[in-house]
Amino acid sequence: MEAHSPKPTHVSRIRVRYGETDRMGVLHHSVYPLYLEEARTDLMRRSQITYKQLEDSGIIFPVRDLHITFLHPAFYDDIISVKVTLEEIRGVRIRFSYELTNEEGRKVAEATTELIFTDGKTFRPIRPPKEVVEMLTNIR
């Protein structure tokens, strides 16, 4: 991605469901990766190529790295805004950052994920086709 280009960003709004909470009504830590994936998928859906189309073409995206910093609890029935930004595509890697906030604008968590462009048959890392990189980095 060029340094002067705005980074592709998207905000998904997700309501915390009862089954995603613990006995205290707090969003369970194990659910956060699902919220990140939903926002990341929504961002990619805005490009001219979707996860499904990439997978159908033989490219898969396993998560290589996931970091979450929990800052404030989210509760049952809260609406969480998950802002995802495509930070960079470098070689076989694609990195996203996330900011999760509640309806009051309080930051609930910050996260990053790194995924690897991978051949769906051999499971070996591959460089993404140039046209795929262009589509992903030109999401507006």
pLDDT digits (tens, 9 = 90+) for 101-116: 999 999 999 999 999 9
* pLDDT value of residue 2: 47
For residue 5, what pLDDT band results from cuts at 50, 70 and 90? low
The sign of the CA dihedral 36, 42, 44, 49 is positive
pLDDT digits (tens, 9 = 90+) for 19-56: 999 999 999 999 999 999 999 999 998 888 888 889 99
Q: What is the token pair recorded at 134?
A: 């262009």
Please answer whether residues 62 and 119 qualify as being in contact, where contact means their C-beta atoms are separated by less than 8 angstroms. Answer: no
Q: Which residues are within 8 A (CB) of 82 and not within 5 positions of it... i.e. 6 or more apart?
A: 11, 12, 13, 14, 35, 36, 38, 39, 98, 99, 100
This prediction has a pTM of: 0.92
* pLDDT value of residue 34: 98
Average pLDDT, the chain: 93
Nearest Cα residue to 135 out of 62, 64, 72, 49: 49
Domains belonging to the chain, first-starting first, are 9-137 (3.10.129.10)
